[in-house]
Amino acid sequence: MGQLDLGRISAHGLGGAKDLPIPSELAIAGAVAALVVSFTVLAVAWREPRYDAATSGRPAPVWLDRFASSRALAIALRVLGMAFFLYVAAAAVFGKDTLINPFLGVFYVFLWVGIVPTSLLFGPFFKAISPARTIAMLFAKVSGVPEGQGLYEYPARLGYWPAALGLFSFVWLELVYPHATDLGPVRLWCAAYLGIMLIGSAVWGTTFLARADPFEVYSSLVAKLSIWGHRDGVLVVRSPLANLDTLVARPGLVGVVGVLFGSTAFDSFRESSEWLGLVQSMSIPRIVPDTLALIVFSGGVALILTAATMATGVTSDTPRRALPGLFAHSVVPIIVGYIVAHYLTFFIEYGQQTLIQLSDPFSRGDDYLGTADLQVNYWISLHPTFLAVTKVLAVVLGHVVGVVAAHDRAIKLLPPRHHLTGQLPLLMAMVGFTAGGLYLLFAA
């Protein structure tokens, strides 16, 4: 049976320069050129906003709408999600404290990385299977409280800030805490997360989960790049860009994208030889500089986005301070691109190992799911050129889509004289993100 290697868990899917047998300078120059060319083409050919949440998309087939909105499907997904949660929870509580405990793989691979492909394919998938939502719904039924209702109305000013803090606590545990692969700390984090979600949903209803659950917010953001949406309660099929335009700007959204993007960049940076040499030369525990660096990366992305979007003229209808949140949706495809580039190998190979280990949750030689005798396929690691091209294309495509989303929003919000010049600071920020991200991808 395969084992999750400690070092590889820390390094995730990024195998370093050996995985990328193409010149880094060529990749960075090509990516920057793609962004500049994309912006130039948009400036010439895209002069009117094309996306409108009230009209975009076409209704899905009636049978598909009925199936997707059916109570039977909702119950089935909740039952499956809860059964899987209890199965993995049993491994966490009664399984051995070793790296082959599938709880670790489910937490770091299936949950954190798997949110991206499932949400891209199916929409806000985590919301449909969330154990916190299921338990909150069961409590509401038992207590007789109307479903989704809490004691108080969720404060609008909080927005997504609780989710940003939750996401930061997760990436800190994953990337900074030196015992991130010990069973005890991960169990404690999960118990605290579930407890906070249940208390919060009891006080503020399920609106709290939609704004504060880090995994639900993450899944819902990525789902905006899927083709599935709703308009007036009807399932519609939209282009991913049109769907992305429907993302509502709320307080804390910039913080969420800052943590998601910044933490992925930090994960590459912390494996670079320069950073390793610096922290090894310090007389303080590595957890201190790593924590500070994670804050700098996450906060830096948020600050750059804020400065770049506010450095333009606005109409009297749009407060300048609202611009960062209104343009934050353009960072979502960039995040997805970096997640694909950074975690691709990790997800495919260690995802297979986790599936194998799930058959033996207590490390006793069991084969509950019939997967214990499967073998990990390392095809993607054995084809480094394909892997390199895929990673670079994911980063470039994410930025190009981000430029398109920002351009459409700019000509919708900004006065005509700033339609192009007002986008230049954000374009420069995206060029910096692209160059820096690819540099870290190659340097780690």
pLDDT in tens, 16-29: 344 455 667 777 88
User: What pLDDT is stored for residue 54 in this prediction?
Assistant: 78
Residue with the larger pLDDT of the pair 88 and 423? 88
pLDDT digits (tens, 9 = 90+) for 194-209: 999 999 999 999 999 9
- Report the Cα 166 to chain-centroid distance in Å: 13
User: What pLDDT is stored for residue 40 in this prediction?
Assistant: 86
Q: 424-443 and 24-45 are packed helices; what angle lies between their axes, rounded to 10 degrees?
A: 160
State the Cα–Cα distance between residues 295 and 172, nearest whole angstrom.
9
| Dihedrals phi, psi of 286, to nearest 5 degrees | -60, -25
Residues above pLDDT 70, as percent of the chain: 94
Q: 384-413 and 332-345 are packed helices; what angle lies between their axes, rounded to 10 degrees?
A: 170
Mean pLDDT for the chain overall: 90
Check whether 11 has a pLDDT greater than 80. Answer: no
Check whether 262 has a pLDDT greater than 50. Answer: yes
What average pLDDT does range 315-341 have in this prediction? 91
What average pLDDT does range 349-364 have in this prediction? 96
Q: Among 38-47, 128-137, 318-327, which stretch is predicted with the lowest mean pLDDT?
A: 38-47
Q: Among 57-66, 330-339, 414-423, which stretch is predicted with the lowest mean pLDDT?
A: 414-423
pLDDT digits (tens, 9 = 90+) for 32-44: 888 888 888 888 8
pLDDT digits (tens, 9 = 90+) for 264-292: 999 989 988 889 999 999 999 999 999 99
pLDDT digits (tens, 9 = 90+) for 47-74: 888 898 878 889 999 999 999 999 999 9
Considering the entire predicted model, what is its pTM? 0.92
With a CB cutoff of 8 Å and minimum separation 6, the contacts of 115 are 125, 126, 215, 218, 219, 222
User: What pLDDT is stored for residue 444 in this prediction?
Assistant: 60
pLDDT digits (tens, 9 = 90+) for 400-412: 999 999 999 999 9
Residues above pLDDT 90, as percent of the chain: 69
Contact 356, 2 (CB under 8 A): yes
Residue with the larger pLDDT of the pair 174 and 19? 174
Tokens of 337: 């691109």
